[in-house]
Amino acid sequence: MHELDLAALMVSRVCHDLISPVAAVSNGLEILADEQDPAMKEQAMSLIAHSVGQAKARLLFARLAFGAMGSAGAEIDLREAGEVASEFFKTSKAKLDWQAPKAAIDKEMIRVLLNLANMAADAIPRGGQLTVKIETGRHQVDVAVTAKGPRANLPQDIRDGLELKTPFSDLTGRTVQPYVTALLAKKLGSKIEVTFGPETLRFDVAFDKRAAAA
C-alpha cells in the first residue's frame, strides 16, 4: 500500500501541473466553436497553440523528472535534459541558466536535479535567476541548483520532505515531490544539502557514479 499511495500522490502532482494548459486548450476550442469574429478566432488559435506547447513542455519534463526512463543504469544526455528544462521554464518567472558539460549521466541523477530545479524555481515566485550547474568527473557528479530572487524562501514542509522527516501519512500532492527527490538521492548514496543567503537558496548534491552503477 505504501508504494501505491506514493504513486497516486505523484500522479496527482503531474495532473496538477497539466490542468492549467489543458483547460486553456478547452477554452480556446469553445471560443472557436461559438465565435464568428475572425479576430477573436485568431486569438483563440493563438491561445490553443501556446497552451499545447506548454502542456507538451510539462509532459516532457514530467517524463524525465518523475518517470522511469529505460533500464536500470540507463544514462541521459545532459544536453537533452537541458533542452527539456529550457522549454519547461520558458514561461516561468525564473530565468534558467543551464551549465552542463557534454556528458550523459545516470537517469536517476537527472530526476534528482530536475526536481531540485523545479523546487528552486517555486522558491522564487516573484521571479529571478535559476542556475543549474553540473560538473562531472571520473567517479563523481556534482550538482548545484541556485535560485536568486526577491523573497526567496523554502517553506518548512518542503524542507521536511527533503530531509525525509515528513510522516508518510502526512504527504500531499505538494510535499510528495521533495520527499521522493530525497528518496532518489538516498538510493544513490547521496544527500541533498540546502543553504540560504541574501535572497538566495541553493541545493547541492554530490553523486558517486560507482554507487549509482551498483
Q: Which domain holds residue 101?
A: 2-213
pLDDT tens digit sequence for 1-40: 466 778 888 888 888 888 999 999 998 898 888 888 888 8
Q: Report the number of distinct structural domains present in the chain.
A: 1
pTM to 2 decimal places: 0.89
CATH number (domain holding residue 143): 3.30.565.10
What would the grid cell of residue 33 be?
A: 466553436
Asked if 58 and 19 count as a contact pair (C-beta separation under 8 A), the reply is: no
Element (H, E) at 137: none
pLDDT tens digit sequence for 93-149: 999 999 999 999 999 999 999 999 999 999 999 999 999 999 999 899 999 999 999
Share of the chain above pLDDT 70, in %: 94
Distance CA 57, CA 52 (A): 9
DSSP codes, 163-176: TT-S-GGG--TTTH
Measure the CA dihedral 87/24/123/9, to 10°. -100
For position 1, what pLDDT does the model report? 43
What would the grid cell of residue 51 be?
A: 497552451
